[in-house]
Amino acid sequence: MVDTGTGTDAGTAVSGAPTPERLRWRAWQDSWDRQQEWYMPDREERFRVMLDMVEALVGPEPRVLDLACGTGSITDRLFHRFPAATSTGVDLDPALLAIAGGYFADDPRLTLVRADLKDPDWTAKLPYESYDAVLTATALHWLHSEPLAVLYGQIAGLVRPGGVFMNADHMRDDSTPRINAAERAHRHREMDRAKAEGAVDWADWWDLAAKDPELAGPTAERFAIYGEHADGDTPSAAWHAKTLTDAGFGEARPVWSSPSDSLMLALK
């Protein structure tokens, strides 16, 4: 089911074999995943740990809020691992929501909601008042620290007692400048090598989307909303943990990390 905020419903019954249209949207979602992996080659590992912790803390049939869902990468992996799960995907990006809507159009387990997380009333658009798990990855660095702290308070109000929030994102530690510099240099060398072998980066991917007849309009709209890229913050894991406990979570700490990113888990 797709809720664009205007009351339209694009959901259909689950069918057997994928249609050519769904396969087309699957190709776009796959290309988004490959583009993201150019920046984060360990992306699948963070998703695996995220879903491990969902199962450990709330079980295999969770009601999930996929926050800043994009094309639905988290939800896709959620449904493959936990077929009885349900998901609400929230995003503002019309192009990424178009891909998610096309790919999941025949799946009643997902409701897509278009909403701006900086809108104080965005939670009113959700189909449920509470969730077992709120999950997000590589998205909230678009926000500065102050609005992110406000968002964490809203998320705390959505997670049921005993439920979880997880955020996998860039979490910088400025106390280790030499380690940070070495990690960045190594990562960029690997990215340059992959690009020389044909990897598609962020700018190239959006250029391709702008040339697609069905994505050209939504892509133009998303650049009018966001501009070229984020100007948000990447505070440390310690900042995230403290901000989440201040917001009302009982416990919070990283449960996975790479040299540049962390997966923060907060338990209500």
**For the residues 203-209, what does the mean pLDDT come to?**
96
Relative to beta strand 131-137, strand 110-114 is unpaired
pTM for the model: 0.92
| In 142-250, beta strands by DSSP E | 159-170
Q: Coil, strand, or helix at residue 254?
A: strand
Cα first-last separation, the chain: 28
pLDDT at 8: 31
**For the residues 148-157, what does the mean pLDDT come to?**
98
Query: What pLDDT band is residue 18 in, cutting at 50, 70 and 90?
Result: confident
Q: Is the pLDDT of residue 209 over 70?
A: yes
Torsion angles phi and psi, residue 229, rounded to 5:
-165, 180
Q: How far apart are CA 34 and CA 37, in angstroms?
A: 5
pLDDT at 16: 56
**For the residues 207-212, what does the mean pLDDT come to?**
97
Q: How far apart are CA 151 and CA 157, in angstroms?
A: 10
Tens-digit pLDDT profile for residues 111-147: 999 999 999 999 999 999 999 999 999 999 999 999 9
Query: What pLDDT band is residue 106 in, cutting at 50, 70 and 90?
Result: confident
pLDDT at 230: 64
The pLDDT mean for the chain works out to: 92
Tens-digit pLDDT profile for residues 177-204: 999 999 999 999 999 999 999 999 999 9
